[in-house]
C-alpha cells in the first residue's frame, strides 16, 4: 500500500505521513504519523515545543473488499515553549462518507 492510495482513496492529505501497513485479524491497518513540520501551538502559533508523549487515534474508514480498514494515527502531545500551554496536534482527516462505496458495510453496522 502506498501513500498515494491513502491520498486518493481515503482522503489523507495535509499534515500526515504514511508509515506502515499491518494486517491484523482480517483488518488492514494503515499507520500514520503527524508531520513534524506541521506541528504548532494552537494558542500562540509557536513552533517551539517539547514533546510530552503521544496517544493513538483509531479511525474506521472504508473497507477494501471484505476487509475492514483502520487508520491508526499517532497524535503527539506537546507543551508550548512560547506560552507554556499543553496541546495535541491532530490535523483533520477528511474521510469520505460510507455512502460513496461499500454497501455491505451497512450489514455490519451496530
Q: What is the smallest separation between the CB atom of 50 and Zn ion, expressed in angstroms?
A: 11
Q: What is the smallest separation between the CB atom of 68 and Zn ion, expressed in angstroms?
A: 38
Rounded Cα distance, 85 and 94, in Å: 27
C-alpha angle with apex 45: 40 to 46, nearest 5 degrees? Answer: 70
Among 1, 7, 20, 44, binds Zn ion (CB under 5 A): 44
Q: What are phi and psi of 104, to 5 degrees?
A: -70, -15
The grid coordinates of residue 49 equal: 515545543
Q: Does 41 bind Zn ion (CB under 5 A)?
A: yes
Q: What is the smallest separation between the CB atom of 80 and Zn ion, expressed in angstroms?
A: 3
Which residues contact Zn ion (rule: CB under 5 A)?
Answer: 41, 43-44, 46, 80, 82-83
Amino acid at each position: 500500500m502506498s501513500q498515494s492510495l491513502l491520498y486518493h482513496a481515503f482522503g489523507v492529505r495535509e499534515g500526515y505521513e504514511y508509515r506502515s501497513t499491518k494486517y491484523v485479524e482480517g483488518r488492514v491497518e494503515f499507520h500514520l504519523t503527524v508531520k513534524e513540520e506541521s506541528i504548532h501551538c494552537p494558542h500562540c502559533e509557536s513552533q517551539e515545543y517539547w514533546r510530552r508523549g503521544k496517544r493513538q487515534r483509531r479511525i474506521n474508514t472504508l473497507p477494501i473488499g471484505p476487509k475492514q480498514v483502520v487508520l491508526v494515527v499517532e497524535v503527539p502531545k506537546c507543551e508550548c515553549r512560547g506560552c507554556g500551554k499543553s496541546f495535541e496536534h491532530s490535523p483533520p482527516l477528511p474521510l469520505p462518507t460510507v455512502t460513496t462505496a461499500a454497501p455491505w458495510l451497512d450489514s455490519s453496522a451496530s
